[in-house]
Amino acid sequence: MAEYRDDDAGSLQPAFDFSTLRRWPDVEADNLFAHDAADKLLLDTAQPLLAGLEGRRIAVVNDHYGALTLALTASGQRGVRVVQDALSSERALDNNASRLGLAGYRHHLLEPAAFQGAGLVLLQLPRSLDALEEISGCIAAAASPDVMVLAGGRVKHMSTAMNSVLATSFSSVTAGLARQKARILTASGPLPSLGGRFPRSEEHDVGLPLPLRLVAFGATFGGPKVDPGTRFLLPLLAGARQADRAVDLGCGNGTIAAYLALARGGMRVLALDQSASAVRSARATAETNGAADRVEVRRDDALSSLPAASEQLIVLNPPFHIGNTVHAGIALKLFADAGRVLAPGGELWTVWNSHLAYKPALNRLVGPTRQVARNPKFTVTVSTRD
């Protein structure tokens, strides 16, 4: 095990240099960090529970950039299981591990098998209660009966509803004292799985001959609903250029991909998202609506798997936050990659919150941009690669 020392706050911290961690390939900026107080509090709280516990019985969930996993592996734990929804988080962890010469962890998708026999789970609390419900259900379904789940987060992003969600899967849920604006919820006593909660689905009228049924797993942004910006965008896509294939960048639950495949007969759609949950959801949405033969779904960080100047049409409803932080960096990253991947004359159709004023950035990163439509909340633009 690693040596521990008293830090300035009087608590125990592992002898691991968190300042060496980077966020890359996620957005990096002066006000964005690769670790937080919840990481350190989780590790401190876990320390007494690690004695005699083999690494292969430890699972880490939502480790944003590797702080939890790499502190454990640096202390000698081997076989730690890591579940991360975002592909950029997986890659950041691997990049940090490579730079620091650390190994001894394994990536897993979110499913009960990832927690088979686990005795300790360290969880960075997700933003979504649905995501937390799915995670806790998977843990309870397969972990050891004596498993301890330590769920940490920044106090400003936590709510008592999180306790209630954990209580659907565990008989005991307690809240610890706050430290440096972070807090730990401890859950134990796994309960029988309720089953049947995920994925969820809903039908929506989006102007097609039949309602569109959307499917969503827990961590998929917006669940099985039509995002308001997407609803504004969909009918306007009739004016998009003709192309054999469209790319739905940041596909979420697959609304745009399924709509294009159904509205434009022979069009094929490549749906991309870095969220493992979104990929499962978009794939299920395409299958449910009979469009699986025209919609290919992949997990990708932006458009990193596509070559330059290879696509004629990209459609994007960009996120405006990174984790719990509102930040334009993620949209700018997606715009820049769309500019790289579009062929000359290719189009990027984008819907965005009007107050964000993305048009100058689109002109710079993609090409000449014109407004297609605007309402009090949303703006739709088309940018043409020159």
Can you spell out the DSSP letters for 27-74? ---TT--S--HHHHHHHHHHGGG-TT--GGGEEEE--SSSHHHHHHHH
- φ, ψ of residue 371 in degrees (nearest 5): -80, 130
- Measured torsion, CA atoms of residues 160, 161, 167, 168, in degrees rounded to the nearest 10: 170
3-state secondary structure of 339: helix
**CB hemisphere CA count around 123 (13 angstroms):** 27
Q: What is the pLDDT of residue 1?
A: 35
Contact between 154 and 62 (Cβ < 8 Å):
no
- Classify 245 as helix, strand or coil: strand
Other beta carbons within 10 Å of 117: 11
Q: What is the DSSP letter of 378?
A: E
The pLDDT of residue 54: 87
- What CA–CA distance (Å, rounded) separates 68 from 39? 6
Q: Residue 7's pLDDT is what?
A: 44
State how far the Cα of 104 lies from the Cα of 71, in Å rounded to an integer: 11
From the list 299, 358, 360, the residue with the least C-alpha distance to 330 is 358
Token pair, residue 271, equals: 């749906």
**Amino acid identity for residue 299 in this structure:** R
For residue 167, what pLDDT is reported? 96
Q: Are 279 and 270 in contact, with CB atoms under 8 Å apart?
A: no
Which residues neighbour 169 within 8 Å (Cβ) at sequence distance 6 or greater? Answer: 133, 136, 137, 139, 140, 187, 190, 191, 193
Nearest Cα to Cα of residue 341 among 380, 312, 384: 312
In this prediction, residue 29 carries a pLDDT of 78
pLDDT in tens, the chain (386 residues): 343 343 434 343 457 899 999 999 877 777 788 889 999 999 999 999 998 888 899 999 999 999 999 999 999 999 999 999 999 999 999 999 999 999 999 999 999 999 999 999 999 999 999 999 999 999 999 999 999 999 999 999 999 999 999 999 999 999 999 999 999 999 999 998 755 589 999 999 999 999 999 999 999 999 999 999 999 999 999 999 999 999 999 999 999 999 999 999 889 999 999 999 999 999 999 999 999 999 999 999 999 999 999 999 999 999 865 555 544 578 999 999 999 999 999 999 999 999 998 999 999 999 999 999 999 999 999 999 98
Q: Which two tokens stand for residue 45?
A: 């709280």
The pLDDT assigned to 30 comes to 76
Q: Give the separation between CA 75 and CA 1, rounded to whole angstroms.
A: 4
CA distances from 173 to 135, 176, 187 (A): 15, 10, 4
Task: Give pTM, 2 decimals.
Answer: 0.92
In whole angstroms, what is the distance from residue 27 CA to residue 35 CA? 14
Q: Residue 8: its pLDDT value, please?
A: 38
Predicted local distance difference test score (pLDDT) of residue 281: 98
Alpha carbons 29 and 55: distance in angstroms, whole number: 33
